[in-house]
Structure 1
């Protein structure tokens, strides 16, 4: 039975090149309680939960942490207002509870309150409905542990405050403000989960593709072309939209959610998320989400994706770009054009088709539940569906099933009170001696990142060479894409990425 992973002195749960090499040597031919397949938020969450209960764990990811859907979200930790609109009170309460856990205990350095503004110029019926929904959401939040004081309440604002919060909106009228959680970076959450799992003894191996599961034997091919095998008590399939490759009987309806990247100054550098109802819908909105560093993400679409799911990253369709721009332009004083779009991204949601359904979804994917599925197929437990906000609850239920199957490991999860690496109470984070931007991304590890260099990767952008060095030394980054597309996210703006590539290549050569 494999024991806990090594500590190399590079910080809590450091995923260094030396640790990866050592873990590969130990894993080959070994036996482990749990093999987790997939390095997204669900897989990393399962690995952390299982390791923290005393199980031996190996996480295998074919590419990189957060290389799939988990880096293409809206960067929100939300309480489920949309689920209330569909009458799913239980899912809304679960979302509100998990948001409170992230904000109050496990990741307060990564999740902060964000105001959402629905302007009256979008239609008084829309802002009135937002007010009702927001107050229902406030009531749900107050009903869960830690939720009552985690966010301000819903309220109306006048024209002056609307202009201050969202300067790009046509003036003269007010609106409704409700609150939710903003995630600094979804990929950073996944990295923090994986490193916390490693700190609890899990072996986290990226560039390790599972080619087959034959009974208890898991066959792996590494990025270097090496073949290895290990035996597992249980295999947890946490591969999201690719889950059917290990569990063909699972029925999924992938849905594409697309975003555009625009300079925040084009909307007057808003401090609140502009929220505009999608024409013809009472529960779907287009959001203009302000981001650290001056950018703004405009989303979100919900389009069914037929056919097999490719390994390549999805891209927004032309009609999605048009829909997003046309919707937000309804309320802007100076409409956006395609020339304002400096980048775009899209992700695939693994929506579960209910067992009672026919051969396909009856209606739009936006109407399918975001509930998750647990399903056993021999020694393989598939956990799929759900959403980023509820990853911890999904992982807890999955590991409950694993513990029952193996008859070993702690019966109760610890993860609702287990801080991720870098986490600390807000008062302590205020005292961290490092630039605020780094504290909001690395928490208590920000001084270590700052000490590795403040030189910008790209002139005019805030990301530093120290962040790239830290990513290689401690966060498992092995390639240029790992660095630029997932650890610091410069890749969201292709023109900036092109300028950053030589710096990333240099850092990899120096640090690997």
Structure 2
């Protein structure tokens, strides 16, 4: 058992566990839980950003923690976001200062301490035209100025996140070359934060939790849950020699937390969640002249809604965002409808020199926001506050909230577990706990046998030598930070730095690492969540052979 420091004492010793998630680790930990006859401290249901955050918070406090997910890490809402770690300007404009302040604080924690390798500043430009109504011309600038003040009050320095300012028309075009220049008067510039990828953040949080001893188990479906036990089924089926029913078993726990997002009502009857669908389009970056920032366009007739085109990996842009009620059965993978696609094109085209058409759309994705149902109001007006609910059977449910606030939500959930159970736990430390790949994260890596013949690389968290970094693709370093060299040396595939397909800045080593260290069990896990290649069907087809090769090599 790893020793804890007393409150106010020295920092806790680093965990001796590896952060590597693999099929072998999953099988071993499932077998251990089947044979166990004493309760663990905490079971977390759901492998999205909230569930992974709770697992990390609990495990880093010393709680014996199990996370179970019916599908894969980041399978649901957590991979369909706008990939922003933003300061909550929209909520400031609606008078919800609490969410805006918390968002600004949590954004600063991600940017400066816990995940600086996965979070980066993003310029946002709102063009203002000579025919823009006076209120519409002024409001974005006032909001951006208030956001800058909030950022400073949250402790984020100007050298990390610059302040808002007004741009001349020519400068607007330098940020977004494809902007419509006729009638362009000036622009508002704001700086927010962008995630390299939302699913990659979930994976990093889950792996960091595993490094502190959490059992992170995907493809394990919860059949029944109470506040002290869950009955689960191994979705991969029985192993050879096992009897019928051996794929189902019960895990006892001192506490159980459901972090299942829009599916919260399925786990906890009586919890009402009202899903809101947010749709994005994927287009080639060249269609807007390869912008250096996000083009942000007000929605006509709205004072506080915008559509945007945000630079993304693989020379793509993500155009979003809708906010429509999504009643009825909740699908595993939501899909946009044609009205949403047309709406996004219509709004963004208002500020483009050359209009986008459906032919420019090379992919789409949609996610469902888990809004706590108040029984009235449009989904765009419902609160983004999160809720912690304890059912009559003791099951704790957390739902609602925003991706940027995942760490705070996790802290509050684990605080509740500690109060209810009286289990011994250290104070929360996730505000200063670097995620795997971030500077300051120290892992005792257990190298695979395949790496023994490759050049040695630092595995103790020290920065990689400049010479080694110079040989690595910048895109790999952007996704893996201080783990980058290890990704290559641990590769089970030959030609590790070769691209998985023409035009895709992803190496063969990354697909191998997804299987050996990031818990990918299927081709879909690799293409749709460990990388985002799968957002574009043509790119997905081109990269699929290497994904299969990576799985075969691991077997």
CA contact (8 A) 2:527 2:533 kept: yes
Partner in structure 2 of residue 370 of structure 1: 384
Partner in structure 2 of residue 459 of structure 1: 502
Q: How far apart are 1:53 and its partner, in Å?
A: 0.8
TM (norm. structure 1) is 0.94
CA contact (8 A) 1:29 1:230 kept: no
Deviations 1:277-300 (A, max 9, x none): 011111110010011321000000
Any idea what SS the aligned residue of 1:197 has? helix
| 1:322 to 2:342 alignment | yes
For 1:108 and 1:8, the matched residues in 2 are separated by: 21
Partner in structure 1 of residue 438 of structure 2: 423
Q: How far apart are 1:12 and its partner, in Å?
A: 3.9
For 1:8 and 1:397, the matched residues in 2 are separated by: 23
Cα distance change of structure 1 residues 328 and 189 upon mapping to structure 2, 3 Å threshold? same
> Which stretch shifts more, 214-223 or 125-134?
214-223
Correspondence list, 1:141-290, <5 A: 141-146=151-156, 149-171=159-181, 172-214=184-226, 216-225=228-237, 226-290=247-311
For 2:380 and 2:440, the matched residues in 1 are separated by: 36
Q: How far apart are 1:435 and its partner, in Å?
A: 2.2
Deviations 1:285-319 (A, max 9, x none): 00100113210000000000112313x20011111
CA contact (8 A) 2:52 2:202 kept: yes
Q: How far apart are 1:127 and its partner, in Å?
A: 3.9
Q: How far apart are 1:467 and its partner, in Å?
A: 0.6
Q: How far apart are 1:481 and its partner, in Å?
A: 0.4
Partner in structure 1 of residue 532 of structure 2: 489
Partner in structure 1 of residue 456 of structure 2: none
For 1:79 and 1:127, the matched residues in 2 are separated by: 21
CA contact (8 A) 1:8 1:19 kept: no
For 1:98 and 1:202, the matched residues in 2 are separated by: 23
For 2:426 and 2:282, the matched residues in 1 are separated by: 44
TM (norm. structure 2) is 0.87
Any idea what SS the aligned residue of 2:232 has? strand
Unpaired segments ≥5 residues, structure 1: 355-359
Query: Of residues 482, 498, 505 in structure 1, which corresponds to 2:548?
Result: 505
CA contact (8 A) 1:97 1:147 kept: no
Partner in structure 2 of residue 294 of structure 1: 315
Partner in structure 1 of residue 356 of structure 2: 336
CA contact (8 A) 2:314 2:503 kept: no
Over the aligned positions, Cα root-mean-square deviation in angstroms equals 2.3
CA contact (8 A) 1:299 1:324 kept: yes
For 1:217 and 1:408, the matched residues in 2 are separated by: 16
Any idea what SS the aligned residue of 1:450 has? helix
Unpaired segments ≥5 residues, structure 2: 4-13, 238-246, 442-461
Q: How far apart are 1:148 and its partner, in Å?
A: 5.5
> Which stretch shifts more, 499-508 or 141-150?
141-150
Deviations 1:305-362 (A, max 9, x none): 112313x2001111100000000101110000000000000000000023xxxxx322
Max Rg structure: 2
Partner in structure 2 of residue 357 of structure 1: none
Deviations 1:374-396 (A, max 9, x none): 01113211010001000000000
Any idea what SS the aligned residue of 1:212 has? strand
CA contact (8 A) 1:153 1:179 kept: yes
For 2:421 and 2:505, the matched residues in 1 are separated by: 47
Cα distance change of structure 1 residues 425 and 201 upon mapping to structure 2, 3 Å threshold? closer
Partner in structure 1 of residue 56 of structure 2: 48
> Which stretch shifts more, 449-458 or 175-184?
449-458
> Which stretch shifts more, 341-350 or 122-131?
122-131
Cα distance change of structure 1 residues 336 and 105 upon mapping to structure 2, 3 Å threshold? same
